[in-house]
Amino acid sequence: MLKVKNLTTGYDKVNVLHDVSINIEPGKISCILGSNGAGKSTLIRSILGLTPVRQGEVWWNGKNLAGEKPHNIIASGIACIPEGCKVFPRMTVAENLSLGAFLESNRSEIKKRLADVYAIFPRLQERQSQLAGTMSGGVQAMVSIGRGLMAKPQLLLIDEPSLGLSPLYVKENFKVIQQINALGTTVLLVEQNARQTLAIADYGYVLPQGRVVAEGRAKALTENDAVRSAYFG
């Protein structure tokens, strides 16, 4: 579905990703594990066409994305929930969610998607008229995930959904990610929180410093000694 082949890229004169290859299979939850500054967000930026690929290729549904503009990549079925699950604070919950469907003009389809998001997050329906910036970080994270779903993507990229959230909200949102996947959306989860991520993922890549040093089924990675000592303490 999505193949990143031998990707090397970075900023200015420095490369932050080196020869990175990943393969995202449809219907699964895949994850990229790495600590601060490992290059996780840069990988997402390269997939979305925001950071140009210096070497290597990104293939999406059989098409090489070289030179493709970010808005065309988004329109082809990839949505991204950015790091820190940011919302537009002066807009209501419903307005934030509607923005996620900006490529869809059919009003009844938008209404249906909104109903689907409210079914996943009943709390957002209760607060649909509230300004997003006045809500707790955990509820803002739900808005951000909901906004990603409003695009009805084939592939949802989620950049560190646990960042800054209390353990309770992390647990709740990870459950929602599983639920979203069970409803048919392929997920690529980029995280530092290895334990909880591997608990819901099918397959993972370990990217400590811009290079993939280990990959495998989530269960095998959980049992991998190098991964355990680096990420589980």
Instruction: Give the footprint of ligand ATP on this chain (CB under 6 A).
Output: 11, 16, 34, 36-42, 83, 160
Alpha carbon dihedral 48, 203, 146, 62, in 10-degree steps, equals: 40
Output 41 or 222, the one with its CB closest to ligand ATP. Answer: 41
User: For residues 97 and 227, which CB has a smaller minimum distance to ligand ATP in the complex?
Assistant: 227
With CA atoms as reference, report the closest residue to 193 among 181, 182, 204, 179: 204
Shortest distance in whole angstroms from residue 43 CB to ligand ATP: 7
Structure tokens at 96: 């934030």
CA-based end-to-end distance of the chain: 34
If the CB atoms of residues 42 and 173 are measured against ligand ATP, the closer one turns out to be 42
Smallest distance from ligand ATP to CB 191, Å: 9
What is each CA distance from 228 to 33, 101, 213, in whole angstroms? 12, 40, 13
Q: Which amino acid is at 127?
A: R
Q: Kindly state the smallest distance separating residue 158's Cβ from ligand ATP, in Å.
A: 12
- CA distances for 196 relative to 10, 132, 135, 191, angstroms: 29, 27, 25, 9
Nearer to ligand ATP by C-beta: 38 or 176? 38
β partners of residue 190: 32, 159
CB of 174 to ligand ATP, least distance (A): 17
Given the complex with ligand ATP, which of 49 and 118 has the nearer CB atom? 49
**Structure letter (DSSP) for residue 192:** S
CB contact set of 122 (below 8 Å; sequence gap of 6+)? none
Q: How far is the CB of 189 from ligand ATP (least distance, A)?
A: 13
